Amino acid sequence: MERQGNLSEFILLGLSFDQNIQIFCFVLFLFCYVALLVGNLLILISILCSNLFHQPMYYFLIHLSSMDICYTSTVTPKLIADLLVEIKTISYSGCMLQVFAMHFFGGVETFILTAMAYDRYVAICKPLHYMLIMNRTRCNLLVIAAWIGAAIHAFPLFSMAVILPFCGLNEIDHYFCDIFPLLKVACTDTYLTGFLVIAFSGMMSLVTFVVLFLSYGIILFTLRNQSAKGRRKALSTCWSHITVVFLFFGPVIFIYLRPPTTFPEDKIFAIFYTIVAPMFNPLIYTLRNAEMKNTMRKLWCQILSSNKPHH
């Protein structure tokens, strides 16, 4: 990773200069991160150790939970540690790695959410052919496509960040390295780069969001013909997916689908898609899903009973 100019590190300005706010944020984000790890690991273990693993929806949920952990771990541990120090530095290589990891794992998550919407569409609109259409080979292909799509999305953005020349300014007004804050400190005209970022990140997010929105619209329209019980079950699953989609895509579209400028509010919006949405995913998917709750209850009761000493 060849550094451009004579910079070896950046200084992150973080969320706030106020000591009390920093301590409050440290406690809050530490709690959020631990909750996120525990919640997503519980989902992973519960699905992998049960029959749910063979159902396409839960197979995708495993990948979503894994991505949540990877995605938020590229930013949150550093943010938590930085809240305890006065000068928050990040090496040039670390900064570029953050840009790539954020967009790559974020891209995988975006495409997995799309695969989950497709899965719900088939389950509700073509129930008789569900297991035939959503066989394991197709599920694997959708996951591979998500990884390839994410790489196609992340590499151009990473390349743009790497070729940016940096001269004197090295203060990034954010709590992690992202492409727009980096454009502000680059010593070159970044108009074209900014436009390309909007094309790669903003348009991808918008198109995916519109596709998801339309697919759930079709699903909800189809549900009119189902029995009250069938409708209730399908709706509980769909609403949990829709909640996740809005939590994740709302802030992302706000930040990336506009002229390449940065606002103070960006940091607050970034917290939503880097910490809040990944933390709420396990809650949304388990609390609104009776099958998942029953599986977790059974599994953990079995584990606890097997650990009890036998007399």
Domain assignment of residue 309, yes or no: no
**Across 252-280, average pLDDT:** 82
Higher pLDDT, 225 or 92: 92
Both structure tokens of 19: 């000591």
**What's residue 310's pLDDT?**
59
Domain assignment of residue 297, yes or no: no
- Helix axes 56-73 and 19-48, enclosed angle (nearest 10): 150
Which helix (H) or strand (E) element contains residue 90?
strand 88-91
Domain assignment of residue 278, yes or no: yes
- Residue-number span of the structural domain to which 218 is assigned: 9-289
For the chain, what is the domain count? 1
Strands 171-172 and 9-12: parallel
Assign 3 a pLDDT band (cuts: 50, 70, 90).
very low
CB 299 within 8 A of CB 46: yes
44-70: pLDDT as tens digits:
998 898 888 889 989 999 999 999 999
Ramachandran quadrant class, 14 (left: phi over 0; alpha: psi -120 to 50; beta: rest): left
Domain assignment of residue 1, yes or no: no
If you write DSSP's letter for every residue of 142-170 in order, what string do you get? HHHHHHHHHHHHHHHHHHHHHT--B-S--
pTM of the entire predicted model: 0.88
Q: Output helix, strand, coil percentages for the chain, rounded to the nearest 5.
A: 75, 5, 20
Amino acid at 291: E
> Residue 232, CB half-sphere, CA atoms under 13 Å: how many?
4
147-166: pLDDT as tens digits:
999 999 999 999 999 998 88
Domain assignment of residue 308, yes or no: no
Domain assignment of residue 176, yes or no: yes
Domain assignment of residue 284, yes or no: yes
Domain assignment of residue 299, yes or no: no
**What's residue 6's pLDDT?**
58
> What's the CATH code of the domain at 22?
1.20.1070.10
